[in-house]
Amino acid sequence: MKKATVFGAGSFGTAIAQVLTANFDEVVLWGRDAALIDALNRTHENPNYLPGLKLSPKLHGATDLRAAAAGAELVVVATPSQATRDLLGKTQDLFPLHVPIVTVAKGIENETLCTMTEVLEQSLPEVYHPHIAVLSGPSFAKEMVLGMPTVVTIASKFEHTARAAQAMFASDSFRTYSSNDVVGVQVGGALKNVIAIAAGMSDGLGLGHNSRAAIITRGLAEISRIAVRMGGNPLTLSGLAGMGDLVLTCTGELSRNRKVGMELGKGRTLDEILKDMKQVAEGVKTAKSARDLAVKMGVELPICEQVYRIAWEGKSPKAAVAELMGRTPKSELV
């Protein structure tokens, strides 16, 4: 295949672009930061987000939207979830027709409570809709660039799109499974970041392994509850985009959302933490979306609720733990 284009030159966009060099002659990585793109083209590294990791000579950066999109056989949208609609407003007449358009952002839009595929459908003309897909699963960018084995799910409402994208991404180190559950895959990918903040807070407070295991397990119950209410398949949440991604993000040292939680648990303020971070921790803003979705859908999400109150209202992590532990006893399977 000749050309793939990735919009969004952060760590994950860069990693996805590197993965695609296994199957494409040319991979264009579009970014807004001209200095970053220039450095990437000169050094074959992303100095801001993945310093010291060499990228394929097939990969080059661009700042011109039209030139980046022209002739692409695959388009990947890797901008942060809250910035995706803005990008699509600038590119909707630039995307090639009849090629897969795959979102990899793991978030839910704050204002609309839309998933990323819904944002794509609302932002792009109807002719593009049968070609929209989402990629999600346990995948740290650094390990992808290093060629470590990674396994993900690609979901689309249209089987031909999921299958086409599956083949375009698959390589010796990057295995892909297809799915038609775009809701479950996206809810799992988005809300696991919120649960990872909670798991990080537990670690930051020094609450031990029992506490972390409880947060992961009950967090999965929350994610499954809201995903099913929204029309997702519960089996999806026991797979790569659910349990797989949740465990990775709640326990992995490379997890940005877990790091935010750990620092909150140690007593730092959210403003202080975010000022020190170059990359976006999607779970901070998704905590608001999760809380608003819970209210809208009438679904109880106690861990997500507490993360929202800590991140957005300044509640003490210790007070949140006390409230969670003091909830009225109930059946585990309800």
Residues 6+ apart with CB under 8 A from 37: 9, 29, 31, 61, 62, 63
Catalytic residue among 192, 259, 285, 288: 192
Q: How open is the CA angle 221-102-233, to the nearest 5 degrees?
A: 30
192 catalytic per annotation: yes
Q: Which amino acid is at 106?
A: K
From the list 178, 33, 176, 4, the residue with the least C-alpha distance to 101 is: 4
Instruction: Give the C-alpha distances (Å, rounded to integers) separating 1 from 66, 74, 168, 169.
Output: 20, 9, 8, 11
Collapsing DSSP states into helix, strand and coil, what is residue 270? helix
In angstroms, how far is the first alpha carbon of the chain from the final one? 49
Q: Compute the Cα dihedral for 311, 317, 323, 326 and give only its sign.
A: positive
- The single residue listed with the structure tokens 């944002």 is 119
Q: What is the DSSP letter of 6?
A: E
- The answer for residues whose C-beta is within 8 angstroms of residue 11's C-beta and 6 or more apart is 46, 49, 50, 141, 142, 279
Sheet of 3-7: strand order equals 59-62, 26-30, 3-7, 74-77, 101-103, 132-136, 150-155, 174-179
Q: What angle do CA 23, 25, 26 make, to 5 degrees?
A: 110
Active-site amino acid positions: 192
